[in-house]
Chains A and B, each alone.
Chain A
Amino acid sequence: MAEQAVTHTTHTYPEASGLRSITADFSSDRQAFRNVSWGKAMMWIFLLSDTFVFSCFLISYMTARMSTTVPWPNPSEVFALTIGGTSLPLILIAIMTFVLISSSGTMAMAVNFAYRRDRRKTAILMLVTALLGATFVGMQAFEWSKLIHEGVRPWANPWGAAQFGSSFFMITGFHGTHVSFGVLFLLIIARKVWRGDYDQEQRGFFTSRRGNYESVEIMGLYWHFVDLVWVFIFAFFYLW
Chain B
Amino acid sequence: MAQASAHTQGQQHPIKLYLVVWVWLFILSACSYFVDYFQLQGLLRYSLIMLFMMLKAGLIVAVFMHMAWERLSLVYAILVPVSAVLVFVAIMVLESDHTLLSRVSSFGPST
Contact A35 B4 (CB under 8 A): yes
Do residues A101 and B35 form an inter-chain contact, with CB atoms below 8 A? no
With an 8 A cutoff between CB atoms, is A105 at the interface? yes
Contact of B93 among A45, A66, A116 (CB under 8 A): A66
Indicate if A149 sits at the interface (CB-CB under 8 A).
no
- Could you say which of A59, A90, A217, A238 contacts B11, with CB atoms under 8 Å apart? A217
| A63 with B92: CB separation less than 8 A | yes
- B interface SS class: helix
List the A residue with the shortest CB-CB distance to B103.
A69
Q: Which residues from A are CB-within-8-Å of B56?
A: 231
Cβ of A141 under 8 Å from chain B:
no
Evaluate whether A67 and B99 lie within 8 angstroms (CB atoms) in the complex, with A21-B73, A44-B78, A109-B15 already known.
yes
Contact of A115 among B10, B73, B85, B99 (CB under 8 A): B10
Please measure, in the bound complex, the distance between the C-alpha atom of A44 and the C-alpha atom of B41, giving whole angstroms: 37
Chain A residues, Cβ within 8 Å of B22 = 101-102, 104-105, 108
Q: How far is the CB of B61 from chain A (nearest CB, A)?
A: 7
Residues of A within 8 A of B70 (CB): 36
Q: Are B89 and A62 in contact (CB under 8 A)?
A: yes
- How long is the Cα–Cα vector from A48 to B15 in the complex, in angstroms? 27
> Chain B, 51-93, contact with A by CB distance < 8 Å: what is the 0/1 string?
0110011001101111000111110111001101100110011
The interface residues of chain A lying within 8 Å CB-to-CB of B52 are 235
Number of interface residues of B (CB under 8 A): 61
B61 proximity list for chain A (CB < 8 A):
224, 228
A164 at the interface (CB under 8 A from B): no
Task: Determine whether A188 belongs to the interface, using a CB cutoff of 8 Å to chain B.
Answer: no
Cα(A186)–Cα(B72), bound, Å: 29
CB <8 Å contact, A67 and B100: yes
CA A1 – CA B5 in complex, angstroms?
9
Instruction: Report Cα–Cα, A105/B37, bound state, in Å.
Output: 25
Residue B110 interfacial (CB < 8 Å): no
Chain B residues contacting A116 (CB-CB under 8 Å) are 12
Neighbour of B36 across the interface among A52, A217, A239, CB < 8 A: A239
Q: List 27 A-B contacts (CB under 8 A).
A: A21-B72, A22-B73, A33-B74, A35-B4, A36-B70, A36-B71, A52-B85, A62-B96, A66-B93, A67-B95, A67-B100, A69-B100, A76-B36, A97-B29, A98-B26, A98-B29, A105-B19, A112-B15, A217-B66, A220-B64, A221-B65, A224-B65, A228-B61, A231-B56, A235-B53, A239-B36, A240-B46
The 10 closest A-B pairs by CB, nearest first: A66-B96, A105-B22, A115-B10, A67-B99, A25-B73, A67-B96, A235-B53, A1-B4, A35-B7, A55-B85
